Amino acid sequence: MIINSKIKITETPRDGWQALPNIIPAKTKAAHINKLLKAGFDTVEVGSFVSAKAIPQLADTADLIKLLDLSHKKTKIMTLIGNEKGLDAAMQFEEIDRISYPFSISPTFLKKNLNITAEEGYKMIDQIMDQCQKHKKEPVIYIAMGFGNPYGDLWSMELLIKAIEVIKNKGAKIISITDITGVADAEKIASVYSTIIPKFPEIEFGIHLHSTRETVMVKIDAAYQNGVRRFDTVLNGMGGCPMTGMELLGNLDTLDLIKFMEKIRVEHGLKSSQLKLSNLF
């Protein structure tokens, strides 16, 4: 299934920073993000409102947001939340356009990442939908372990479709399928998107991919050729989820995605000069 060729890119420095051992000052992070805001990204995920004890690198997200230069902003600002307290905190900022939430079809990962059950996760999505509507923000729901998982939990296309159906019925318009443990290969990526995109044409599906450099291009190709037009990236492929035990498995590198899109002559909308300036870490 081929839809429009132009892609949307969400740059996620939040995901790049969260596993770093040393705390980066808010002013330094803000300078990086302010350059990203000039580069042409659809969205930049700047931080998260989660437990400072669990993710100390992002405990200063409120301070960081106040340092952003939004005077000529076209890029949407997104923050991740993990619970009701984080959701309430994010709602206080008019600067935030989108709220991301890391749901999962893996019970083990939900317990490791958010210390909740799937039922509690669905209830949290209800609250996100309600608060986003009240505060004119857009929810972006991630389905982690969407291609399988290393924990031995049950995975099937039917289970994934059921989760998408529930989330869609709650009002979500953007759903991103996530592989943060590197279990997805090109064949699985193609199978998932060739199934769910035709089945849910009203949903804008994205991909959040952690991968080795050796396999990343075939994975990008599999996603793009099967209809994905929303990609998450991090400059230099930095970062990895500290809740998986696989922190060294990097994010999709922004420059790799640009290289791929330029090779097949697809518009990515990014200003390379700004990306070079933003390459701070």
CATH of the domain at 208: 3.20.20.70
Q: Which domain holds residue 218?
A: 8-278
Residue 147: what are its φ and ψ, rounded to 5°? Answer: -115, 5
Per the structure, how many domains does the chain have? 1
For residue 257, tell me if it sits in a domain. yes
Angstrom distance (rounded) from CA 149 to CA 136: 34
Measured CA to CA in angstroms, residue 146 lies from 89, 118, 192, 202 at distances of 28, 14, 9, 19
What does the pLDDT read at residue 1?
A: 39
What does the pLDDT read at residue 244?
A: 47
Amino acid residing at 103: F
Tell me: the pLDDT tens digits for 207-217?
Answer: 999 988 889 99
Q: Which residues are paired to 8 by β-bridges?
A: 230
Do residues 138 and 192 lie in contact, with contact meaning Cβ atoms separated by under 8 Å?
no
Res 237 pLDDT > 90: no
Mean pLDDT (the chain) is 92
For residue 23, tell me if it sits in a domain. yes
For residue 3, tell me if it sits in a domain. no
Do residues 256 and 268 lie in contact, with contact meaning Cβ atoms separated by under 8 Å?
no
Tell me: the pLDDT tens digits for 141-200?
Answer: 999 999 998 899 999 999 999 999 999 999 999 999 999 988 999 999 999 999 999 999
Q: Which token pair is 173? A: 């318009």
For residue 1, tell me if it sits in a domain. no
Give this prediction's pTM: 0.93
